[in-house]
Amino acid sequence: MISVNNLTKVYKLNARKMKELKTTENTKIAVNNLSFESRPGEIYGLLGPNGAGKTTTLRCIATILKPTEGSVKVNGFDTVTEGEKVRGSIAFLTNEIKLDAHFTTDYMFKFFGRIHGMTEEQIEKRRKELFTRFDIYDFAGKKIEELSTGMKQRAAIAVTLVHDPEVVVFDEPTSGLDILTARTVTDYLKELKEAGKTVVVSTHIMSEAEKLCDRIGIIINGKKVAEGSLSEIYEQTGTNDLEDAFFELYKANGGETK
């Protein structure tokens, strides 16, 4: 269970970044008063273009960013004041956080299992499940730097899920993956949902959101502009396609379509 309450995150910009973004203001509001709730047994998708604030929101959930205003609670724990407890109950998957490539998948899996306070038997049991599920056994003893992109991604997913967390937060789950690995990942996310886990993903791919998510929150410029199941969103926008719905919302919220 994740509840995001009036979350606002403001970045301070330095001179170089201000130039990059062609702005004279020294702050950028990445997430603006955003609220949503994600429940156990469903996949909640944050859908929006690049720079909409999806990653920032997920990072706030994962405790590595601190909200400027508002709060985020994961399973009832506040991400700022009870960060360690939150980190104990979630898995945060993202492309930017990487496993140290010098180690083997086996070593990393055991290391993070121990960090999560698991016993050796628990780790071994979990290892069997995940390594079979993601087809890791063949390369588990190899250094991560020797693996292909797809293998690295699978290794990262397995390591991040070592503690069988109640909450899974996945930033762009299929980005950079080949079609086979992408399918394995989305299938697994559905399994997690069936198992009663709370799953939140971010994506800018409409088809992925359509197929994967039970409920979708559409964010544009840091604000939530629509939320609901696919049919609810179609209804709100008078469309019958997520892409059309997105463009309707985008225009209505001051975005320019070229």
Partner 1 sequence: MRNLVLVLKKELYRVFSDRKLIISLFVIPAVLMFALYSLIGTLAKSMNSDIESHVSKTVIVNATETLNNAIDESGFKEGSNITWLSDAEYTEKKADIENMVLNGELDLVVVLQKDFDDVFKAYKGQGDQIPNIDIAFNSTENYSQQAYSVFSNTLNVYRTMLLSQRIGNLEQLTVFNQTEKEIVKESKAGTQFISMMLPYMIMIMLFSGAMSISVDAFAGEKERGTLASMLVAPIKRTDIAMGKVVALAIIAALSSIVYAVSMIVSISTMGGNLSDMGSGFGTVHFDILQIVELGLMLIVLDYFFVVFIAVLSSFAKDTKSASTFVTPAYMVVLVAAMMTMFQTGAKNSITKYAIPLYGNAIAIQDITTGEISSVNYLVSLGVTVAISAVLTVVLAKIFDSDKLMFNA
Binding of partner 1 by 9 (CB under 8 A): yes
- Region binding partner 1 by CB under 8 A among candidate stretches 5-13, 122-130, 170-178, 242-250: 5-13
Cβ of residue 11: shortest distance to partner 1, in angstroms?
6
Binding of partner 1 by 103 (CB under 8 A): yes
- For the chain, counts of helices (H) and of strands (E): 10, 10
Interface residue with partner 1, options 38, 57, 63, 75 (CB under 8 A): 63
Taking the C-alpha atoms of residue 232 and residue 221, their distance in angstroms, rounded to an integer, is 22
Q: What are the structure tokens assigned to 241, written together? A: 């396609």
Interface residue with partner 1, options 20, 35, 66, 178 (CB under 8 A): 66
Tell me which residues in 113-152 interact with partner 1 (CB under 8 A).
114-117
Query: Comparing C-alpha atoms, which of 236, 254, 218 is closest to residue 49?
Result: 218
- Region binding partner 1 by CB under 8 A among candidate stretches 109-117, 170-178, 200-208, 249-257: 109-117
Q: How many CB atoms lie within 10 A of CB 231?
A: 9
What residues contact 96, with CB distance under 8 A and at least 6 apart?
Answer: 171
Residue with tokens 């762009």: 172
Q: Mutual orientation of helices 120-133 and 105-115 as an angle, nearest 10°?
A: 130
> Based on CB atoms, which residue is closest to partner 1, 155 or 209?
155
> Based on CB atoms, which residue is closest to partner 1, 164 or 210?
164
Q: Which spans of this chain sit near partner 1 (rule: CB under 8 A)?
A: 9, 11-12, 56, 59, 62-66, 84-85, 87-88, 92, 96-103, 107, 111-112, 114-117
